Structure 1
Amino acid sequence: SLKEKQGEGGDPDLKPSMDAEGNVIPIAEEADKWVLKVCEEIINEYKDQFTLEELIFGPGMPLTESKEVRNMAKSRNLRHDIRQLDGQSYLVIQHRMQPQDMAKCIHTSAGGRSGKYVLVEKSSLPVYQDIVPDLDKQIALSGSLAGQTKREVKAPNPLQGFKPKILSEEEEGEEVVFDQGQNKLY
């Protein structure tokens, strides 16, 4: 057990590690091999799917197991990230895809969406001319632009309040991929 490894019982020659203030430094627990085996099977199954859905582990996954699972994802060319929700950490794994592959994936999925992604017609997006009045208004409210960099003048988000239209396969025209979670276009 951890107490025995730290010298609080068991081997009397094994002394606990101490920091500068004299506090006991805990020995890192090893990752549970059974949990890692199940995670590896799930990741291998996910790797072979053509989807934009995310694979989510957590909350409460120990750090040692989380590191091992992230290494598994990395070795299989999958993206991984840690996200927080209500103070809990979640490990999120997803496929690395180019925008063209993302569009193909969405076209082949039911309902014109895959995960948090949806296809929208490029013509339905606002163009620069449509947001110029809002930009001018923002500039007027913020004062003169003299001496300010582009980063200091925050333009309004042209997609704020934008509701994407889900396209059917019969509709034609240029399309882009819209990430509803991140409010990004690809």
Structure 2
Amino acid sequence: FNVHGLSAQFLSDKPKFADAVEDLLEFVGDAPMIAHNAGFDFSFLNGELTKCGRQIVHMKRMVDTLQIARSRHPGAKHSLDALCSRFGIDRSHRVLHGALLDAQLLAQVYVELMGGRQIGLGLLGDTGSTASTPIVAQAPRVVRPARVFAVSEGDLAAHAAFMKGIKDPIWGAVASG
């Protein structure tokens, strides 16, 4: 209940997975399936499909936005909320984890991970469209003060010894040239 806000009482008269599996499989067809942390979702989906005696969905159909985000933004946070914030996607109406809302947010995140929304290029009959804002905006330049690093005499000596050990350094040719 704390995750999605759905109580057992609320769910008591809703269809079970086995009752909806045909509609789900027909809807999905053989299209790729996009999920955030897809291995987690696929393990549940395939577990339920197995219980129903159905063929599992192969992982090769999986598009994992978590893996894509990690490869495109290493070291950053990759939760759905963090990605929405990064891409300026409004998630103010998201209070709990809800499948439909999360799918809608993830669709927008996926578009951004794949290169983002693009304005019309006039190639598909959108000649009436005009951009009301410039395509490229000048970002304000932030001038930061130079950082000062304290280097010990030992570090300087170790660096000088290392530099002397380099055979025919390119800067030697430039300096004598």
- Normalised by the size of structure 1, how large is the TM-score? 0.19
Structure with the larger helix share: 2
**Structure 1 or 2: larger strand share?**
1
TM-score, normalising length: structure 2: 0.20
Of the two, which has the highest radius of gyration?
Answer: 2
